[in-house]
């Protein structure tokens, strides 16, 4: 089949809820993807932050193959070794006490919201509690996750959503305090906003939220779905700040490529929230994904990827600074570690840059506020950043002549 044959057949049979780019990826190796025509692409998207180890990691593939040969599914009515191993390792690196495995990041958000509501119900003896979320946040596409997503165009077609959600301004503690009432059960945020435009939280904001939540007995929920698992130079971004959440969500790179997420809790919250019968999942935490989680954590540590990210962040940022100096329409950059965004002037739609980059064999992403988002695999080396600079320079040069 030709590339166009694949695209035509997909459009005939798949529900069109994605505006896909006209590329049909066939395989990957290292930090490169290859389409069905054999064209090579340098990957600075990593499947939206999923493929931390790039493609073709032999140790990862062997671990999954071994589990496939043993056991794929049992349901959560029973224990299995991979579940125990994955849960133990995840709690250790996340510095949390209890874990619940889900099928996706959005499901992890749903579970975190249920934890907060049940915690407040047991605390106060009544339902109807409220959640404070952040403007320009993104937490997922399910109804609960969408309810705490602070971007109107994602939400409006699906009203009414979950009741009792208020939105505050990210990095503005006073705006959060103004939303707090005796019904507030949780404050949820990304320590580094992704879809909203690559905005890191300030130390003052994170520390202020922790103090506020401690004072009011409100649960602090950190969404680390995109920014977690080594992407910012720590296993989880909150660890840079030293501000531990009550509940944390994780997914994307957690399983190295298989669909898995989790929410994690402190012992205190676990003992005062959900009980058997309150929550569940058929596939969550099955042997295959747990083998992937356990091996992913092993590889993070064996390859010292958080330290690698920290070491090369400055080199990455030098490349971004080069673009801001060379092109008037590049207004700056922001981010942490290997989660960075170039700020593009509104006169050039960032989507057009993403499309042009694909033509040049470079996979990049967009984010809110006309931001060119870059999420390279965490194994990316200096040579990869040099190559990105060369390819993106050719892309941006094209916009200086238009």
Tens-place pLDDT, residues 66-107: 999 999 999 999 999 999 999 999 999 999 999 999 999 999
Nearest by Cα to 250 from 372, 57, 102, 118: 102
Percent of the chain with pLDDT over 70: 100
Strand partners for 187 = 132, 220
The predicted structure's pLDDT at residue 324: 98
The predicted structure's pLDDT at residue 392: 98
The pLDDT of residue 177 is above 60: yes
The predicted structure's pLDDT at residue 140: 96
Give dist(CA 198, CA 42) in Å, integer: 21
> How large is the average pLDDT for residues 42-71?
98
pLDDT tens column, 315-343: 999 999 999 999 999 999 999 999 999 99
The predicted structure's pLDDT at residue 247: 98
> How large is the average pLDDT for residues 114-127?
97
Contacts of 245 (CB under 8 A, 6+ apart): 220, 221, 222, 238
Angle among Cα 222, 224, 225 to the nearest 5 degrees reads 130
DSSP-derived letter for residue 347 is T
The predicted structure's pLDDT at residue 401: 66
User: Which CATH number does the domain 59-302 belong to among 3.40.640.10, 3.30.470.20, 2.60.40.1120, 3.30.70.1400?
Assistant: 3.40.640.10
> How large is the average pLDDT for residues 23-40?
98
Strand partners for 249 = 223, 263
> How large is the average pLDDT for residues 223-229?
98
* Domain ranges across the chain: 3-53+304-400, 59-302
Are the beta carbons of 256 and 28 closer than 8 angstroms?
no
Question: Would you state the CATH architecture of domain 3-53+304-400?
Answer: Alpha-Beta Complex (3.90)
The predicted structure's pLDDT at residue 350: 97
The predicted structure's pLDDT at residue 402: 54
The per-residue pLDDT of the chain, averaged, comes to 97
Q: How far is CA 270 from the centre of its chain?
A: 24
For the beta carbon of residue 390, count every other beta carbon within 10 angstroms.
13
Q: In what order do the strands lie in the sheet with 184-189?
A: 98-102, 261-265, 247-250, 219-223, 184-189, 130-134, 165-168
The predicted structure's pLDDT at residue 78: 97
Nearest by Cα to 35 from 3, 9, 60: 3
Contacts of 242 (CB under 8 A, 6+ apart): none
The predicted structure's pLDDT at residue 130: 98
pLDDT tens column, 292-320: 999 999 999 999 999 999 999 999 999 99
Percent of the chain with pLDDT over 90: 98
pTM for the model stands at: 0.97
- Whole-angstrom CA distances from 326 to 148, 201, 392 are 39, 28, 12
The predicted structure's pLDDT at residue 220: 99
The predicted structure's pLDDT at residue 307: 98
């Amino acid at each position: 089949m030709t590339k166009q044959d694949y695209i035509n057949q997909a459009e005939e049979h798949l529900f069109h809820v994605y505006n896909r780019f006209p590329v049909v990826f066939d395989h990957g190796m290292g930090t490169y993807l290859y389409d069905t025509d054999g064209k090579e692409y340098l990957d600075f998207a990593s499947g939206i932050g999923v493929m931390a180890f790039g493609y073709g990691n032999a140790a990862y593939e062997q671990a999954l193959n071994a589990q496939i040969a043993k056991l794929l599914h049992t349901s959560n009515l029973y224990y299995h070794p991979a579940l125990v191993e994955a849960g133990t390792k995840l709690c250790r690196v996340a510095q949390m006490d209890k874990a619940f495995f889900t099928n996706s990041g959005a499901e992890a958000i749903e579970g975190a919201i249920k934890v907060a509501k049940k915690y407040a119900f047991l605390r106060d003896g009544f339902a109807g509690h409220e959640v404070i979320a952040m403007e320009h946040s993104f937490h997922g596409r399910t109804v609960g996750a969408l309810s705490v997503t602070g971007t109107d165009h994602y939400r409006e077609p699906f009203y009414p959503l979950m009741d009792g959600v208020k939105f505050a301004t990210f990095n503005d503690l006073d705006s959060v305090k103004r939303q707090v009432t005796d019904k507030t059960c949780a404050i949820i945020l990304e320590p580094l906003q992704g879809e909203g435009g690559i905005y890191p939280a300030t130390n003052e904001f994170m520390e202020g939220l922790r103090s506020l939540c401690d004072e009011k007995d409100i649960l602090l929920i950190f969404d680390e779905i995109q920014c977690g698992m080594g992407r910012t130079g720590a296993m989880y971004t909150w660890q840079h700040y030293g501000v531990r959440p009550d509940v944390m969500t994780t997914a994307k790179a957690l399983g190295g490529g298989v669909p898995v997420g989790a929410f994690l809790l402190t012992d205190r919250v676990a003992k005062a929230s959900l009980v058997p019968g309150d929550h569940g999942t058929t596939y969550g935490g099955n042997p295959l994904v747990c083998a992937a989680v356990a091996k992913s954590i092993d590889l993070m540590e064996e390859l010292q990827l958080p330290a690698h990210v920290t070491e090369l962040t400055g080199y990455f940022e030098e490349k971004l600074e080069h673009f801001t100096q060379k092109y008037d329409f590049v207004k700056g950059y922001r981010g942490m570690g290997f989660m960075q965004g170039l700020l593009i002037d509104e006169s050039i739609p960032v989507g057009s840059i993403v499309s042009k980059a694909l033509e040049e064999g470079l996979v990049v992403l967009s984010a809110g506020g006309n931001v060119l988002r870059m999420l390279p695999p965490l194994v990316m080396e200096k040579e990869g950043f040099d190559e990105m600079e060369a390819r993106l320079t050719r892309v941006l040069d094209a916009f200086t002549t238009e």
